[in-house]
Structure 1
Amino acid sequence: MLEKGRVLITGASGFVGKWTLIELLKAGYPVRGTVRSLAKAAQVRAAASAQAGEGVLARLELVETDLLDDAGWTEAMQGMDAVMHIAAAIRSDEPKDASLVVRPAVEGTARVLRFAHAAGIRRCILTSSIATVGYGHGHTTGRRVYTEEHFTDLGNMRWTWAYCVGKTTAERAAWEFARANGLRLTTIHPGAIIGPALDDDASISIGMVTGLFDGRTPALPSNGFSIVDVRDVAAMHVAALEDPAAAGQRYLATAEYVPFPQIAEILRQAYPDRNITARRVPDWIIKLMARFGGPTRQIINDIGNEKIFDGAKGEALMGRKYIPARQSIIDTAESAIRLGLVPGRT
């Protein structure tokens, strides 16, 4: 077990990064976080002190690095005992230039592991995704359960999307690098991450909740998502760090499969005075739109089927039950309202 060694977190200003940083600080770890711009440092420190108290700031350091540039990484790794690579390029749309998402995933992961190895760091935790698990298996209809034993087959997918390509390619390369260089690697695979925003620099993923308030999601697709609360994702990262048996393992971080219309109904019941999206969009329209790219390319592989990701192994690692999806949805909405991320009552 790592005895409160120094931990480097990449993407410290991100949704998962901030919550994981907070969990590490609460547990007593000294933390160095990387950000693309130190202009975000004050916001990260404010979130940390609000959740864990001002005293933890003495154990928090923030440095500026870029996943696509070697500058600063040698210094960032100095004196660290473990690395959590959380940083990622996430977009709500499907870019015409896939490299905008794929390069940070593939080159960024390789860069972080290479500099960690050069610094003598042997313990690495990588934030992966269910996108690297449940795709390219010929599953187009019906219900199917996926576990950590499954690995996405990009060559067998009719519809790929940049995030899936980047994450899958990066994870495969990470495992190869770890085996070749003696790194003790763990990968965490969250589903759709929601939960309370800490500030107005919130994750794109909470848009699946907030978009139902403000019309950004004008109609509901039929498919569902394996939801997980960001607080559980953060807790799982810390649990993996503290459990020696987690090295060499993949862990799904997935609480419940919830259809999009059910998310809307939960919000409608909780906020009856608000105009929550109710209109449905037929599957055939999404399939047609996916031919032309755009956001539908990110969900087309989930239309007409149920991909159930068994999160039991991750739950056991965490040592407690997942936060229920309904609570996560409500907590997401309440934080968005409090922070002004959704419009006033309509």
Structure 2
Amino acid sequence: MTTNSISDKVVLVTGGSGFIAVHCILQLLQAGYQVRTTLRSLNREAEVRAMLKEGGSDAGKQLTFFQANLSADAQWNEAVSGCTYVVHVASPTPILNYRNEDEMIIPAREGVLRVLKASRDAGVKRVVLTSAIGAIVYGHPQQTAPYDETTWTNVAGKAPAYQKSKTLAERAAWDFIEQEGDGLELSAINPATVLGPVLGPDYSHSIHLIKNLLTGKMPGCPKINSGFVDVRDVADLHLRAMTHPAAKGERFIATAGESVWLIEIAKTLKAHLGQAASKVNARELPNTLLRIAALKDPMVKSMIPLLGRMMNVTSAKAIHLLDWSPRSTQEAVLATAESLIRLHLLDQ
């Protein structure tokens, strides 16, 4: 495909101020696409442009903004009109003090359907949906073999509300494509815990893990296991899934490699960052201590179902089918820390 044919194609990225979305926009601009993005408030346009500049791109007129909200129909038809592809990254963020899990589930599911309907009606070729491994790994008996894309989180099991919302939203997307898609194509990306270079003060909740370790806010490491992946590789996988013929109708796990325990993340920071990691506490916290803390702290409470559970997933499908080649977990961890330090975000 030549640059000329790419420059004629318009891509909409939803939720443009988000951590993954900004990196997707950055790579789309660098590839030569015309890019649109949605924000709940256009007051944030300058902030998004500043983040892109930090990432090395002065977007200029190659990027345009639309005000749209996942919970309302307004502006979605205008935003997708004339687009070849839609990268649907926007999703309600986790709510810690929710009264009812439907507070997360309904907006996530309805938002996906809103974007898919507008995309279908506008003649979009393919939508790439940002899902999560939260739609894969929960509610199952313990297993040592890595989870793959054939598995779905069992929402009748012990799945936390946010992960349940990601599962039901992705399920609704696939059902819509099958029943009402009218030729619209769909691919889904299911990232593990997303780390990598922060471009500004707005970043995902997963980045707080590294920030809290570096600032000493975490008195130690809960016995939690996860896969990790660099946001630059997550964005790259979105772009591959957007255009690759083999990605049609498929979901792809994004992880850098084998899952690791949090204590290994702490040890990586201490081993490579010297004085900057002096407050990192690389000791494992007893499960009992966390269960007591969970009685008062909603953030800790959300960790309890994860204690001691292996959360290994495999990206073999993305690597073999889409020729995807992710950075290592260590590189993702250090890029996160170095960007937080460089942008003076640890004291905010």
Indicate yes or no: 2:58 matched with 1:59: no
Q: Which amino acid aligns with 2:63?
A: L
Q: Evaluate the alpha carbon distance shift between residue 106 and residue 292 of structure 1 in structure 2; reply closer, same or farther with a 3 A threshold.
A: farther
Pick from 331, 336, 339 the counterpart of residue 332 of structure 1: 336
Q: Which amino acid aligns with 1:186?
A: S
Alignment-derived partner of residue 346 in structure 2: 342
Alignment-derived partner of residue 39 in structure 2: 35
Indicate yes or no: 2:15 matched with 1:14: no
Q: Which amino acid aligns with 2:114?
A: R
Alignment-derived partner of residue 253 in structure 2: 252
For the 8 Å contact 1:92–1:204, the answer to whether it is kept is no
Alignment-derived partner of residue 169 in structure 2: 170
Deviation of 1:264 (Å): 0.7
Alignment-derived partner of residue 179 in structure 1: 178
Residues 254-333 of structure 1 correspond to what in structure 2 (within 5 A)?
Answer: 254-256=255-257, 257-273=259-275, 274-287=278-291, 294-333=298-337
Q: Which amino acid aligns with 2:62?
A: R
Percent same amino acid among aligned pairs? 35
Q: Which amino acid aligns with 1:30?
A: Q
Alignment-derived partner of residue 232 in structure 2: 231
CA distance in 2, matches of 1:82, 1:272: 44
Secondary structure of 1:102's counterpart equals helix
The farther-off stretch of 121-130 and 39-48 is 39-48
Deviation of 1:110 (Å): 1.1
CA distance in 2, matches of 1:105, 1:319: 30
Deviations 1:51-72 (A, max 9, x none): 3433x42211111111101111
Deviation of 1:165 (Å): 1.3
CA distance in 2, matches of 1:216, 1:91: 20
Deviation of 1:300 (Å): 3.0
Alignment-derived partner of residue 91 in structure 2: 88
Gaps of 5+ in 1: none
Q: Evaluate the alpha carbon distance shift between residue 51 and residue 278 of structure 1 in structure 2; reply closer, same or farther with a 3 A threshold.
A: closer
Aligned residues: 339
For the 8 Å contact 1:132–1:164, the answer to whether it is kept is yes
CA distance in 2, matches of 1:164, 1:75: 31
For the 8 Å contact 1:161–1:297, the answer to whether it is kept is no
CA distance in 2, matches of 1:75, 1:322: 35
Q: Which amino acid aligns with 2:310?
A: E
Residues 98-247 of structure 1 correspond to what in structure 2 (within 5 A)?
Answer: 98-139=101-142, 143-155=144-156, 157-158=157-158, 160-180=159-179, 181=181, 182-247=183-248
The farther-off stretch of 323-332 and 310-319 is 310-319
Secondary structure of 1:337's counterpart equals helix
Deviation of 1:288 (Å): 5.9
Q: TM-score, normalised by structure 2?
A: 0.91
CA distance in 1, matches of 2:244, 2:284: 44
CA distance in 2, matches of 1:66, 1:289: 36
CA distance in 2, matches of 1:241, 1:271: 36
CA distance in 2, matches of 1:57, 1:318: 31
For the 8 Å contact 1:70–1:111, the answer to whether it is kept is yes
CA distance in 1, matches of 2:299, 2:232: 26
Deviation of 1:250 (Å): 0.6
CA distance in 2, matches of 1:107, 1:131: 18
Alignment-derived partner of residue 77 in structure 2: 74
Superposed CA RMSD: 2.2
Deviation of 1:272 (Å): 3.2
CA distance in 2, matches of 1:50, 1:317: 32
Secondary structure of 2:139's counterpart equals coil
The farther-off stretch of 286-295 and 196-205 is 286-295
Q: Evaluate the alpha carbon distance shift between residue 277 and residue 264 of structure 1 in structure 2; reply closer, same or farther with a 3 A threshold.
A: same
Secondary structure of 2:25's counterpart equals helix
Q: TM-score, normalised by structure 1?
A: 0.91
CA distance in 1, matches of 2:121, 2:207: 36
The farther-off stretch of 39-48 and 92-101 is 92-101
